[in-house]
Structure formats: structure tokens, C-alpha cells
Structure 1
């Protein structure tokens, strides 16, 4: 059923086709597990989130009417189980912090002239990005993960989180700037010199807002003119572009272990057998 679209599998699953349901859930298990790993920061919790999410989808598939996208529905379910895990474990921010003494070595490994996907191949940078995202407060982390790692639109993220789109964007801008600041030394990005009063806009925030369609055309044009003559701000914009590129390419790095897949498949088949 690899060639079947999600819509076709979903229609068949709603009609009672267990094979279609299994194929649909298997297709999306990696993104659920990835989201659980990045939100829960614990493999066992991520496995539980994956299993509970897929079972909840199996239970509710016949009632799903498609008023939201499949991904939005999936992440809404997964997030609810992440929140339960967090409450039970008295979730605390990740204890790891960036080792600033090691940053210069990583900077040499991360040649600034290399493309972002090449830079990500360096394990030091990959780990730095994971730590930077993990160090975010969960309310900011989930916004960044859903928007910049998983690729949902801001309105879709708002639907998953039960927030306004504007609230999502506000949290997103803050999360992006925080991650960019954390990994800058690992990318060989020098500290930003303070701008002279009244000379430089907050280009990092403006650029993030531009990506979300919040900047008027005339403001965007004015910013472009400023960037042409200001190396400082041009470098700042380049740094956040590279940071977001790293976020986008970090998504596929988490795979569901074979043992976890087997456990989830067994639970799913047990559930389906009990509902025939």
C-alpha cells in the first residue's frame, strides 16, 4: 500500500479496512516518535507517546471527519500524551548546557562557508542544536518543533495548541532567536557587535516576522535596502537563515527503533483483534 495516498488509506480505514489502518499508522509513526523524543526528552516516554497516539488514532479513525488535516489531528493527539507525561514526571527543562569551552573546536569543524545541510553532518552541531531546542521552555519548544521542524503552518500549529495564530507567531519568534543565539558559536558565527543607537533595526525579529507574512511590503523593502549597506545586519540575517535550515533538516534524524516498532505493532494488532 506504499503507493496509496493518505486520503485513500484514511477512507479505507474508516470503512473498516484494518490493513489500511495499519499502513496509515506505520507511515506516520516516525514523525510521532520524533515529536515525542524532542518533547519528552526520554526514549521510554517517547515510545509510550507513540503507542498511545497510534492506538488513539485507531480508536478514533472512524469518527475523524477531516475538518482538520491528518497531521494536525495526529500532533494534537501526540501533544496531549506528551503533556500527561510531563505532569506525571514533573517535567523539568533539560539539564544539559552548551560547553562554551568546546565551541571553538566545533567552529573549526563547522566551516561557515559550508551549506547548512553539510554543517549538520558534524555531530557537534547536531548535538548543539538538540540541546538548544531541549533547553527551551516547553511552551516555546513545541511551537518551534511543530512549525520549523515538522513543517506545519502557523494556523495549523495554533489549532494543535489551542492558541491564536498571533500567539503562536509571538512564541515562535522568541524560540527562533533563542536557538540561534545558542548555536551561533558552534556555527562559527561571531558575536554580534552592538548597533549604534538608531542605526540598525532588530533584523532578527523582523526576518522571523517576514517569514510568517507579518511584515508590510514597504517595511520589507526598507529592510532589504538596509541590508545592502550593513554587513552586520546582513550577517545576522544569514545566521538565522542557517539556524532555521538546520531545524528543517533535523527532522528525519530520529528513526523508530525496530524493537519499538514491534512493540507498537503488537499493541495495535491486539487492539484490532479485540474490536473485530
Structure 2
């Protein structure tokens, strides 16, 4: 199942199947990073404009609250800009920035003790590989459906399908196990599909 977010996706995102291409996957010229490291205000503004939407979208999908997402965006950018001199490459800049954003969003959920709430695990769960219904292409509809899921389940779905994280990576981020991630992906995927296809019936169930 692939989470299509046409309304929120920046020009660099693609609709290719897994592994997902993150909306953060923006090639940043080394010269721009050098200018930002040197403290050039215009370079900071350029980086902010490029990554504002991906950071805010990720934070909103994980936190489920616009005010929290705005806080995560601000905290992420402040942390990235404050530590930019320590970034020496070796991995894409966007990957480092995305990791900061994910950590900030999950920390927001932990402070509110929201990651303890998830869909119950089953004994025999398998990854949900069925294609999503057409409604998944509607950003507003998908957002409403995601908000009906527990934060931890929503986080697993978004990190796996939209950001391309592995179950092992998600387990590390959530401080759980890979089996937990797989179980939440399977059950959450089925629940999300039900919400998208028959929202009224799914809400009553």
C-alpha cells in the first residue's frame, strides 16, 4: 500500500512504488550549504523554503495536530541551522534533516505519552501489500482517515510507506521491535483502507 499525497508532495516527490521516494529527497548544492555554514541569511531562507513543506507535512502526519506540526517545523529548522557546521556530508543533507524532523515529531508525541496507544497486535500478521483505494489520492480524505488511527500506528504507516523507512529503522525510532512495526503496518493498513472505503462503517466498528 502506498500513501499518495498529491496535494502535499513537493515537486521532487514521485509516485513510484516501494521503496518510497521521500518528499525530502531534494538535491542541495554543496555551494548552498557552504553559504549557509558561513551564516548567509539568503542561503538559510532558500533551505527553509525547500524543506518547509516536507517537514511540516511529516510532522502533521505523525502528530496529527497543526499547532504541533508548526512547533516541530520550527524546532527542526532551528536545530538544523544551529548544527549546520557539524554536517560534513557522507550522506545526503536531506536525509540528515529528515532524521531531525522525525526525531522532533516523535519526541513531541512521547512528551504527551501518545506513543503508548496503538492498534492491538495479532498473533499472525503479515505486511499489507494490497493497493490503496482511489480515495488515497485525495490528500484531505487521507488526512482525515490517518487522524482516526492511534499515533504510533499512524507513525508506522507514514514512515514506512511515505518515507521509505525499514521496519528495523522504525523499530529504532519508536523504541519497539521490528515485529511491532510489521504488526502495526498490517493492522493499520487494513484499518486505513476501511476508513477510506467506508468511513461511516469503519467509525462505528
Q: TM-score, normalised by structure 1?
A: 0.46
> Equivalent residue for 1:120?
136
Q: 1:34 Cα deviation (Å)?
A: 1.2
Q: 1:163 Cα deviation (Å)?
A: 7.4
Please say if 1:173 is aligned against 2:186: no
Q: 1:11 Cα deviation (Å)?
A: 3.2
Contact 1:36 1:82 in 2 (8 A): yes
Correspondent of 2:100 among 74, 77, 99: 77
Contact 1:33 1:50 in 2 (8 A): yes
Q: 1:149 Cα deviation (Å)?
A: 1.3
Q: Separation in 2 of the partners of 1:42 and 1:71?
A: 24
Contact 1:21 1:58 in 2 (8 A): yes
Q: Separation in 2 of the partners of 1:91 and 1:162?
A: 11
- With over 3 angstroms needed to count, the CA separation of the structure-2 counterparts of 1:124 and 1:162, relative to structure 1, is closer
- With over 3 angstroms needed to count, the CA separation of the structure-2 counterparts of 1:66 and 1:162, relative to structure 1, is farther
User: How many correspondences in the alignment?
Assistant: 161
> Equivalent residue for 1:135?
150
Q: Separation in 2 of the partners of 1:76 and 1:49?
A: 12
Contact 2:171 2:181 in 1 (8 A): no
In structure 2, runs of 5+ residues without a counterpart are: 1-10, 12-25, 119-130, 199-205
- With over 3 angstroms needed to count, the CA separation of the structure-2 counterparts of 1:54 and 1:146, relative to structure 1, is same
- With over 3 angstroms needed to count, the CA separation of the structure-2 counterparts of 1:21 and 1:177, relative to structure 1, is same
> Equivalent residue for 1:60?
83
Q: 1:88 Cα deviation (Å)?
A: 3.5
- With over 3 angstroms needed to count, the CA separation of the structure-2 counterparts of 1:160 and 1:64, relative to structure 1, is farther
Correspondent of 2:58 among 16, 31, 35: 35
Secondary structure, in 3 states, of the residue corresponding to 2:29? helix
Residue by residue over 1:84-134, the C-alpha shift from the partner in whole angstroms, topping out at 9 and shown as x without a partner, is 423443336789xxxxxxxxxxxxxxxxxxx957433568952564145x3
Contact 1:129 1:179 in 2 (8 A): no
- With over 3 angstroms needed to count, the CA separation of the structure-2 counterparts of 1:179 and 1:21, relative to structure 1, is same
Residue by residue over 1:123-177, the C-alpha shift from the partner in whole angstroms, topping out at 9 and shown as x without a partner, is 8952564145x325x2x54343223112x3539946983979xx55x44432321
Residue by residue over 1:4-62, the C-alpha shift from the partner in whole angstroms, topping out at 9 and shown as x without a partner, is 94133223322433212221122111111112112222211111110011011111111
Contact 2:37 2:85 in 1 (8 A): yes
Q: 1:182 Cα deviation (Å)?
A: 0.8
- With over 3 angstroms needed to count, the CA separation of the structure-2 counterparts of 1:81 and 1:11, relative to structure 1, is same
> Equivalent residue for 1:154?
166
Higher relative contact order (CA 8 A, sep 6+): 2
Q: Separation in 1 of the partners of 2:145 and 2:46?
A: 32
Q: TM-score, normalised by structure 2?
A: 0.59
Aligned-residue CA RMSD (Å): 3.9
> Equivalent residue for 1:144?
157
